[in-house]
Amino acid sequence: MSNQVRVAIAGCQGRMGKTLLEVTQDKPFVTLGAAFERAESPFVGIDAGELAGVGKLDVVVTAGLEGLEDKVDAVIDFTVPEATLANLEWCRKHGKKLVIGTTGFSDAQKAQIEQAASETAVMMAPNMSVAVNLMFKLLEQAAKVMSDHDIEIVEAHHRFKKDAPSGTALKMGEVIADTLGRDLNECAVYGREGITGERDPKTIGFATVRAGDIIGEHTAMFADIGERLEITHKSSSRATYANGAMRAASWLMDKETGLYDMHDVLGLK
């Protein structure tokens, strides 16, 4: 049984914002309380659904969150790190839940999120697809068995993506490094060029592709002489991320404080 939740969609006219507006329509446990963009946005004052091409929703795009305290239980944020931190502050101040899908945070920004989560409940995950979160579990198992294989992570996304490697690829690296007792900060190799010498067996390599309209593809490769295992996830719709975000917002409703991830929401811990 899902908790009822009134959500505010941050960055509601972005790629994820529009998809989130769309999926609110088939979730009986979700009410669209608000949809907002930055103050300078030309979309402010116009019906969010009409703009997003999902039909009139009777919710106009607002400039930020101020004044929306009585309409919203949880904010769903797929924007940019600086905007997320501003939304985090509003949620902390007003005791509202926050679902963070945005990627590309610095360590200092992550510490700020952790700190705020001692005052309100936050769910942060670089990927909200159920299958990707299951993949993290499969990677743990693979790393245990193939600890001396060459491990490489390859990701591909659309031409508009701002951060690299993707948050999901970094999480894949973290899961594998943690399982192997390695520190990702020390063993990650982000791209190769020139006379690099032979591969250091303790490294985890990352390669990034940015092209066209690829929604999101991730592969972890465990390679030895004679064979290799590849674990791959491919997204064909952003709705899988948006559905996960709605599920997380509802799940947070009976949490007072704390920083959670998608494994908490899905009961995979």
Ligand X SMILES: O=C(O)C1=N[C@H](C(=O)O)C[C@H](O)C1
Ligand Y SMILES: NC(=O)C1=CN([C@@H]2O[C@H](COP(=O)(O)OP(=O)(O)OC[C@H]3O[C@@H](n4cnc5c(N)ncnc54)[C@H](OP(=O)(O)O)[C@@H]3O)[C@@H](O)[C@H]2O)C=CC1
Show which residues are catalytic: 157, 161
Q: Does 46 bind ligand Y (CB under 6 A)?
A: no
The 10 Å CB-count burial string (b at 16+, else e) for 28-44 is eebebbbbbbeeebebe
**Paired tokens of 238:** 């952003």
Strands 121-124 and 227-235: unpaired
| Interface residue with ligand X, options 127, 240, 243, 250 (CB under 6 A) | 127
Task: Tell me: is residue 91 an annotated ligand-binding position.
Answer: no
Residue 36 beta carbon to ligand X: minimum distance, rounded to whole angstroms: 20
Query: Is the peptide bond prior to 165 cis by the omega test (within 30 degrees of 0)?
Result: yes
Q: Which of 66, 78, 116 is nearest to 95 (CA)?
A: 116
Instruction: Extract the tokens encoding 179.
Output: 């399982």
* 137/144 with CB nearer ligand X: 137
Determine which residue in the list 13, 24, 79, 103 makes contact with ligand X, applying CB under 6 A: 103
Q: Is there binding between residue 173 and ligand Y (CB under 6 A)?
A: no
Beta carbon nearer to ligand X, 59 or 169 = 169
Which x/- pattern over 162-181 shows residues binding ligand X (rule: CB under 6 A)? ----xxx-------------
Please check whether residue 81 is in contact with residue 46, taking contact to mean a CB–CB distance below 8 angstroms: no
Q: Is 94 annotated as a binding residue?
A: no
Distances (CA, A) of 77 to 19, 64, 234: 12, 12, 23
Per CB under 6 A, contacts with ligand Y among 128-147 are: 128
Instruction: Copy the structure tokens of residue 29.
Output: 């446990």
Q: Is 103 within any annotated ligand binding site?
A: yes
Q: How far apart are CA 267 and CA 269, in angstroms?
A: 6
Map the footprint of ligand Y across residues 76-115, applying CB under 6 A.
Answer: 78-80, 83, 101-104
Q: Give residues in contact with ligand X (CB under 6 A).
A: 103, 126-127, 157, 161, 166-168, 216
Binding-site residues, in ranges, read 11-16, 37-38, 101-103, 125-128, 158, 167-168
